[in-house]
Structure formats: C-alpha cells, structure tokens
C-alpha cells in the first residue's frame, strides 16, 4: 500500500466521520424535540384532575395498542 492509498483511506475515514457527526447532530435535535414534547405533556397532565389524567392515559394506551396491532 503506497502513501497515496494511505492518504486516500484517511480522507475517506475523515469524510465518513464527518457524515456520522452530522447525522448525530440531527438525532440530538430530534431527541431535544421529543423531550420538549414530553415536558409539555407532563405539565398538562399535572394540571388535570385525576380522572382526566386516568382517561388520557387510557386513551394513549389504547392508541398505542391499535398502532401496534397494525404493524
């Protein structure tokens, strides 16, 4: 393996790392968005009466069950 091949391999490795890093940044943004939605939902649940919270939880479980049945 010549020096030229070594440099090409290193350049490809660096390009691959850069692409993975860009992908990771997008994943972090998505994670932050999901966390923000979860916090908002938790605040909404905290302001509900126990009956409303129980009904909302049951609805979410039912919806999840239907979604899983479709898969």
Please state the three-class secondary structure of the chain as a single string: CCHHHHHHHHHHHHHHHHHHHHHHHHHHHHHHHHHHHHHHHHHHHHCCCHHHHHHHHHHHHHHHHHHHHHC
Task: Return the pLDDT at 71.
Answer: 61
Task: Return the pLDDT at 65.
Answer: 82
Task: Return the pLDDT at 12.
Answer: 92
The answer to whether residue 70 scores a pLDDT higher than 80 is: no
pTM (2 d.p.): 0.38
Q: How far apart are alpha carbons 3 and 7 in whole angstroms?
A: 6
Task: Return the pLDDT at 18.
Answer: 85
- pLDDT tens, 3-53? 888 888 989 999 988 888 777 666 778 888 888 988 888 888 778 788 887
């Amino acid at each position: 393996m010549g020096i030229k091949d070594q440099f090409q391999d290193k350049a490809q490795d660096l390009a691959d790392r850069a692409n993975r890093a860009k992908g990771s940044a997008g994943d972090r943004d998505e994670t932050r968005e999901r966390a923000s939605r979860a916090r908002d939902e938790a605040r909404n649940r905290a302001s509900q009466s126990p009956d409303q919270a129980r009904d909302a939880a049951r609805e979410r479980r039912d919806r999840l069950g239907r979604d899983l049945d479709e898969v």
